Amino acid sequence: MKHLLTLSFKGHDQAYEEEFREFFYDSSLQLFRCGFIIGIVLYSLFGLLDALSVPEQKEEIWFIRYALVCPLLFLGVLYSYHPSFRRYWQPVTALLVTGAGLGVIAMLVIIPPPTRYTYYVGLLLVIFYGTAFINMRFLWASATAIFLIAAFEVVSFALFQVPLDTFLQQNFFALTTLIIGLFTAYSKEFSYRRNFLLLRRLYEEKAKVSQKHKELQRLLQELKSAHNEIKTLSGLIPICSRCKKIRDDQGYWNQLESYITTHSDVSFSHSICPECARELYGGEKWFVEVVNEVDQDKEGGS
């Protein structure tokens, strides 16, 4: 579950918030560096437009562009290699975008009309670049974009005599850029959070399956061990009809008790049944009674 405005996890997913921020940082670090390097190049290339559009003011504008803003962005890229950057990368990103936007507003103060009325597009590019291209979280992107629009409005009212149609045009495009940029920032963070949860739950399910697999392997091993300990007699057993010997799998004939003892956990205790005793010893009653008593004693002892 996510908060509708801040997009922070809440409820049973709240425990994942810190882990998501680490995931978001790791996923965005290279984009941050590449994005601001590209931003430095583009911000510098607009110096050519300064020379063509406002050659009289180009030195002042180039001071802002090359002595203030570009070094600030470059320092931000360098700072991204410091271990503490992981903790402060969102406010640092907002600071760099704000610095680039304020640089454009400072240029507007220097540039005379009517060129001033078209140069504000540079501010819109900075806002859109910061909210849509650089991975700022939605709250930081919103605060940065709204601050730059508000700063532009304040400077326009305080210093510029802007015609009404130009004023309406500028605000229309500024508001449109703001809405599109914030919608993009919101959608990107929403997607990152959704993908993170899917990956997190997939990892948890994979861990559960792995644990179940280990448990199943353990049970199978126990079953195999138990199976190896169990010896059973099954199938057809070749037995001699006269001497009752049994033929084993190697073709050898074994005594009945020897074969059963080998293929099961049964042990034999030899004795003489009453019928055999009568046949062998003439049926003496005393011998039969002794045999029966010995058999009973064995059974009782076992």
Digit-by-digit pLDDT tens for the chain (302 residues) are 667 777 787 877 788 788 889 999 999 999 999 999 999 999 999 999 999 999 999 999 999 999 999 999 999 999 999 999 999 999 999 999 999 999 999 999 999 888 888 888 999 999 999 999 888 999 999 999 999 999 998 888 877 777 778 888 888 999 999 999 999 999 999 999 889 888 888 888 898 898 898 999 988 888 887 776 555 555 667 877 777 777 777 777 877 777 777 766 667 676 677 777 667 666 555 555 655 665 565 555 55
Q: Is the Cβ–Cβ distance between 99 and 148 less than 8 Å?
A: no
94-98-100 Cα angle (round to 5): 120
The domain limits of the chain are 11-209, 235-268, 271-302
Residues 6+ away with beta carbon under 8 Å from 174: 120, 123, 124, 149, 152
**pTM for this prediction:** 0.69
Q: Is the Cβ–Cβ distance between 159 and 109 less than 8 Å?
A: yes
| Residue whose entry in the numeric block shows the structure tokens 């792995």 | 210
Residue 178 dihedral angles phi and psi, to the nearest 5°: -60, -45
Work out the end-to-end distance of the chain between its first and last CA atoms, rounded to an integer number of angstroms.
68
Residue 254 dihedral angles phi and psi, to the nearest 5°: -120, 155
